[in-house]
């Protein structure tokens, strides 16, 4: 997501998202059926859509694969360091999204040599893991997740698959048993904490 006017190979929206038919990414409909909203945004706006975050903070939501790849590979235009964001003067201290965008000295927000140094530590830790075993375990986890929703004909992939697969893999890498209620409960708790909206209590 970017709050600067995007510039890709194909035409994209221009100007401030606030005046471009921006859609609020909040409320029950967004929390419960985000897939339908994303489809609607893609139909109406294409690969880059104007949206409003909590407190009506304007932003651009990147929906296209090619456009997202462009954003992720051009740090000089789309910075990891959130301190460069041009909306900070409009953000209240108690903004609900602050835990996700407020700067922290972590690998998610650092750039350049500092980012490479921090990422290198993670790489070294992961090098101790048997990649073939990890790939096998991820396939097993993926097969199980897909089996859970395959019969329904539709699902919310973000919560049912995209979030669940890496969290399940990580907790198993940390020594949690493959099966068992404790493992599933931990995965569910992590997912809830990531998906919690304004006013939600992730530990309730």
Low-confidence stretches of the chain (pLDDT beneath 70): 1-20, 180, 191-204
Contacts of residue 35, defined as CB under 8 A and 6 or more positions apart, other chains included, come to 156, 157, 158
With a CB cutoff of 8 Å and minimum separation 6, the contacts of 72 are: 78
Residue 72, pLDDT score? 86
Which pLDDT belongs to residue 198? 44
CB-neighbour burial class of residue 48 (10 A; exposed 0-12, middle 13-18, buried 19+): buried
* Res 48: pLDDT: 95
- The closest of 54, 6, 65, 12 to 30, measured between CA atoms, is 54
Residue 2 has what pLDDT? 52
38, HSE (Cβ side, Cα atoms, 13 Å): 12
For position 9, what pLDDT does the model report?
35
68: part of which helix (H) or strand (E)? helix 65-72
Nearest one of 128, 182, 190 to 165, comparing CA atoms: 190
Q: pTM for this structure?
A: 0.60
In 13-62 the beta strands, taken as DSSP E runs, fall at 23-24, 48-53, 57-62
The predicted pLDDT at position 91 comes to 93
pLDDT at res. 73: 87
């Amino acid at each position: 997501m970017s709050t600067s006017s995007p510039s890709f190979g194909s035409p994209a929206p221009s100007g401030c998202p606030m005046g471009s038919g921006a859609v609020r990414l909040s409320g029950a409909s967004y929390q419960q059926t985000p897939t339908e909203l994303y489809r609607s945004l893609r139909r109406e706006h294409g690969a880059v859509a104007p949206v409003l975050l909590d407190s009506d903070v304007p932003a651009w939501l990147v929906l296209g694969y090619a456009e997202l790849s462009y954003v992720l590979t051009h740090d000089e235009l789309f910075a990891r360091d959130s301190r460069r964001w041009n909306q900070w003067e409009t953000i209240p201290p108690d903004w609900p999204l602050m835990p996700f965008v407020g700067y922290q000295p972590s690998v998610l927000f650092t750039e350049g040599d500092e980012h490479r140094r921090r990422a290198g530590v993670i790489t070294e830790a992961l090098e101790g893991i048997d990649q073939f075993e990890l790939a096998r375990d991820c396939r097993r986890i993926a097969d199980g997740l897909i089996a859970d929703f395959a019969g329904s004909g539709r699902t919310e992939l973000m919560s049912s698959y995209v979030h669940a697969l890496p969290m399940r893999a990580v907790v198993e890498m940390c020594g949690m048993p493959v099966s068992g209620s404790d493992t599933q409960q931990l995965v569910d708790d992590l997912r809830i904490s990531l998906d919690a909206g304004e006013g939600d209590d992730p530990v309730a």
